[in-house]
Amino acid sequence: MAKTLVVLGSQWGDEGKGKITDYFASQADMVVRYQGGNNAGHSVMFDGRKHSLRSIPSGIFNPETVNVMGNGMVVNPVSVVAELKKLNDEGVTDYKLYISDRAAMVMPWHSVLDGAYEGNRGKNLIGTTKNGIGPAYADKYSRIGLRMGDLLEPEYFRKRLEAALEVKNPELKALGLPEFDVDQVYDQYMEIAKQIGPMITDTSALINRHLKGEGHILFEGAQGMMLCIDHGTYPYVTSSTPSSASVPVGAGIAPQHIGTVAGVLKAYCTRVGEGPFPTELHDEIGDGIRERGHEYGTVTGRPRRVGWLDAQVARYTAQLAGITNWAVTLLDVLSGIDTLKICKGYELDGRMIENPPATIAALERVKPVFVELPGWKEDITGVKRYEDLPENARKYLETIGELTGVPVGLVSVGPDRTQTFITSPALAEFLKNN
């Protein structure tokens, strides 16, 4: 049987999943995205060049790796075509990409409605990327959405398109927005089908065939666990579930195939958009971390909010997703800070609590309880082994393990692939050339 590894974000997204996924994808036979859509911007850097991805799996840079966009995703065909063109312009022309015929489509009215809903919220903004992800998932579960496989059946696609617009055009009109013409949308998507139609297939069958082999399969999550629609800081969340528990449904495989789960944990915390953030920093330390870490959204360009590492959140997400190892990123950004803090837990109304509370009202009342640790001055971007890290940096990583009950299995000390080292045998086993 194939070895499997799930890589997912364990905070509020932007943890550096792209780099970690790319690190393992370089030796994976298959990389599978199992949820989310083109709102999940992430970047990878190698050979001194930065590449940005949105919906396409991180294994796209490896010609021998099979890349799969699973049925649990919502796929914007226009965005996929644009993303592939950008990659082609950057010299990435040799790749294997397959898109599930069961994946829901993000249609042009979804982004229009997404923006309108956000605009009508007034002071109660969610902070959506306005890419139409939420409305696409809503239509999926309302059973009026279109799926990627529909593009392969032109007559059927037109019928589904007409049925969808019978519902959506009146809604657009009521909001004072332009309606969509069936013929124009049909013609546009038939042209798109000519370009990506050969990539659309039964990806569940494809993945299950690979599972029977001796290869390495990497499952790539989007966003972060604290943005989970069920377990995150609702309503300031995404519209899917990034957890490893979503892999079986979103990829079309049985649960027993889930192996090692690596939770990507930024050495501090960030958040884009609205919502509670208990460890947020509003001082020069936070500003310095933002600038050194280049904390600006890949998709939106918005400056990210910055805070101390939150072990309460990490314990919670590890519990939910069955995280077996932490992949700690951007440790180098903390160099030069005299005193570091880690939130070890929350106090709510005078008592310590086990998990983050369900309501925003309660979460806004929590008081983070911190442990303080001495920082380090050394530049660690050239460190190749755990043993060569400064003592205080090692102590910081050890404290993460102690507070969360999950060991640190990988450390990233810079943006490039080479600025990464593994400390966990379980993660090392996934690397063929280890």
Q: Is 310 a catalytic residue?
A: no
> Do residues 176 and 135 touch, judged by C-beta distance below 8 A?
no
Give the pair of three-digit tokens for residue 96.
Answer: 């294997």
> Do residues 24 and 430 touch, judged by C-beta distance below 8 A?
yes
**Position of tokens 């082609």?**
88
DSSP 242: -
* Cα distances (angstroms) measured from residue 369 to each of 247, 284, 352, 353, 363: 34, 21, 9, 11, 14
99 vs 130: CA distance, rounded Å: 23
Side-chain half-sphere exposure of 56, counting CA atoms within 13 A = 29
* Cα distances (angstroms) measured from residue 194 to each of 80, 85, 108, 191: 13, 15, 18, 5
Q: Which of 42, 51, 110, 231 is catalytic?
A: 42
3-state secondary structure at position 330:
coil
Planar angle of CA 196, 129, 85, nearest 5 degrees: 30
Contacts of 173-180 with CB under 8 Å at 24 or more apart are: 175/113, 175/116, 177/112, 177/113, 177/116, 180/108, 180/109
Over its C-alpha atoms, the chain yields an Rg (Å, rounded) of: 22
> Do residues 430 and 31 touch, judged by C-beta distance below 8 A?
no
Q: Is 42 a catalytic residue?
A: yes
Identify the sign of the CA torsion 278, 280, 283, 284. positive
Give the pair of three-digit tokens for residue 282.
Answer: 């509003």
Which residues have a catalytic role annotated? 14, 42
